[in-house]
Every structure is written in C-alpha cells, then in structure tokens.
C-alpha cells in the first residue's frame, strides 16, 4: 500500500467529494432508463478523478469552497467521460476495454453508447450552471469548459489523432495532437477551478501553465505505460496505438528520452505552483502523475 501523507489525504478528500456527487447523478427511472444506465455505467466505472480534483483544489487555493464548487468540478468529469465513450467507439479507436470493464458500446450497443456520450456532454453544462456561485464565475467556467472541449480543444485533438493513423508524424505533430486532445481538458479543469473560486488573472495564467506542463507529462507517461505495462495493470487495452498505426511520444523518442521530458515538465509544473497557497499539494500532485503505474 502506498504511503499516505497530508497531500494524499487531501487528494482522497477531494476525490471522495466528487465521487459522492457523481454517484447521485442520472438515477431517473423514466422510459429512457437504459440511457441513464449507460451514462452511469461509464461515469461510475472508477477512474482517477484527476480533473475534478484539480478543479476543486484550484478553487480552494484561490479562496473558494470545495463543496460549493462540486457541480463545476463534476461537470469536467462528465465531459471527460463522454469523450472516453466516443473515443472507444468502432468508428474511432474501436476499443473493447476501459477501466477494467467492457467499453460502453460493447455493453449497450453503438447507438446507445453514442447517445450516452452526447447526453453526458449536455449534462456537464447543466450541472455546472446549477452551482450556487456568482453568475460571472459560472459564465467564465462554462466558457472555459466549452473552449476546452470544442473545435479548438479536445475535438480538434481527436480529429488530428484520427488523421494521424497509419502515417508517421513528427514530434511537433504529436505534441500538437495531445496539446488539444489531452492537455486542453486538464488545462480547462485547472482554470475552471480558479474561475469558480474567484481567482485573479495572474492565478488563472499560472494554473494554465501548470496544466500545460502536467498535461504533456501525463500523455508522455501514458505512451510509456502503453509500451511497458499490461492490460491488467492499466485496466484498458495496451498497444492499441501500435495496432492503429499511431505515432506516439514513445515510438518517436524512446523510453529514456520520454522519461527525461516527463521529469522536465514536472519540474516546470512545480515552479508554476509557487503562486498558490497550497503549492505543496500541486507539486506533490505533479510528481504523483509523473510516477503513476496505470
């Protein structure tokens, strides 16, 4: 069992708040009950809850109350879950395993899975806007989430990722893919926390730079684990990028150079955390992501 410290306790507290909130969502019993079930199937399938924790802790770091910000934080997880459901579809990665369980379309069929993702994306915004926070903070948080998810964010990255299948990409091209596909929503989660907590423009910029660094490190570490880990350890299919003919940081740089860049980006994130009162947590969190095993 990993050794617990004050920061791992803080992480668990924030994650548990998010988990309890998410558990209470989409429990309707109307004629569309199968849609609710499909949404909950993926939303409650586990996961690290990295993004809602970041939103909660950044809100707290700028003087916000984590419980008041919960709808904003959980909106990020709803949107992230929608992206995973769609990412696994036959028309995209055609994956059959996610978080140690069959993917949504394997269980519910492609049509219901697609609609479950659509519904989660819509629910993310209605959930965010239900938070009892000042309207200007909610509007800014919603704008950040929309930009992180849309044509200049995660969806852009997904298009570039699919376009890169079965051809060799340069390192800059792979960086661009994951700047949008992976880092955009992590950046959004951090900046939404600052927005919901009433932070300053300077804190918003620092949160964005922190997120860019951990987002790049996170994706590079993910590419490394896809090569070195097992399906049981990861809870999802491994070598899937190789099967789909995708260029990755690991395939271009090799594991040793990947490890060096992860360390470099983690150090940048640690420096950016200095402007926040709870800088120790954000430094610990960056190292936690850099050293993860799944």
Tell me what pLDDT residue 233 has.
Answer: 57
Q: What is the rounded distance in angstroms from the CA atom of residue 275 to the CA atom of residue 15?
A: 23
Confidence band of 113 (pLDDT split at 50, 70, 90) = very high
Specify the DSSP class assigned to residue 230.
Answer: -
1 within some domain: no
CA 46 vs. chain centroid, Å, equals 13
Tell me what pLDDT residue 168 has.
Answer: 87
59 within some domain: yes
- What's the number of domains the chain is made of? 1
Tell me what pLDDT residue 1 has.
Answer: 36
Tell me what pLDDT residue 240 has.
Answer: 63
29 within some domain: yes
**For residue 30, which phi and psi values (nearest 5 degrees)?**
-75, -175
Task: Indicate whether 2 pLDDT > 60.
Answer: no
Lowest-confidence pick of 4-13, 91-100, 144-153: 91-100
CATH number, domain with residue 149: 1.10.600.10
pTM: 0.92
Q: Please state, as a whole number, how many other Cβ atoms lie within 10 Å of the Cβ of residue 5.
A: 11
Confidence band of 230 (pLDDT split at 50, 70, 90) = low
Q: What is the rounded distance in angstroms from the CA atom of residue 74 to the CA atom of residue 46?
A: 14
Q: What is the rounded distance in angstroms from the CA atom of residue 240 to the CA atom of residue 272?
A: 33
Please say whether the beta carbons of 45 and 99 come within 8 A.
Answer: yes
Q: Calculate Rg over the CA atoms of the chain.
A: 18
69 within some domain: yes
CA 193 vs. chain centroid, Å, equals 14
- Domain residues for the domain of 33 are 6-290
Tell me what pLDDT residue 242 has.
Answer: 63
- SS3 (DSSP) at 29: coil
262 within some domain: yes
| Percent of residues, the chain, with pLDDT higher than 70 | 94
Task: Indicate whether 234 pLDDT > 60.
Answer: no
Tell me what pLDDT residue 99 has.
Answer: 83
Task: Indicate whether 258 pLDDT > 80.
Answer: yes
């Amino acid at each position: 069992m990993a050794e617990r410290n004050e920061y791992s306790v803080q992480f668990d507290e924030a994650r548990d708040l998010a988990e309890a909130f998410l558990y209470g969502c989409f429990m309707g019993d109307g004629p569309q009950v199968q849609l609710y079930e499909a949404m909950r199937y993926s939303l409650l399938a586990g996961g690290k809850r990295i993004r809602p924790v970041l939103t909660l802790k950044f809100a707290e770091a700028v003087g916000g109350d984590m419980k008041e910000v919960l709808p904003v934080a959980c909106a990020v997880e709803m949107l992230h879950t929608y992206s995973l459901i769609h990412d696994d579809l036959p028309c995209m990665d055609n994956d059959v395993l996610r978080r140690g369980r069959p993917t949504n379309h394997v269980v519910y069929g492609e049509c219901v899975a697609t609609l479950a993702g659509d519904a989660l994306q819509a629910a993310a915004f209605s959930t965010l806007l239900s938070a009892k926070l000042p309207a200007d903070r909610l509007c800014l948080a919603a704008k950040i989430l929309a930009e992180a998810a849309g044509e200049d964010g995660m969806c852009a990255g997904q298009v570039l990722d699919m376009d890169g299948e079965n051809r060799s990409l340069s390192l800059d091209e792979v960086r661009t893919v994951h700047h949008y596909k992976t880092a955009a929503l992590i950046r959004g989660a951090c900046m939404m926390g600052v927005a919901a907590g009433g932070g300053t423009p300077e804190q918003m910029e620092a949160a964005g730079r922190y997120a860019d660094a951990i987002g790049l490190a996170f994706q590079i570490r993910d590419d490394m684990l896809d090569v070195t880990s097992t399906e049981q350890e990861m809870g999802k299919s491994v070598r899937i990028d190789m099967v789909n003919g995708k260029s990755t940081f690991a395939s271009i740089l090799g594991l040793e150079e990947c490890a060096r860049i992860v360390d470099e980006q983690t150090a940048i994130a640690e420096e950016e955390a200095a402007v926040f009162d709870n800088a120790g947590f954000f430094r610990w969190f960056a190292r936690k992501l850099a050293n993860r095993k799944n």
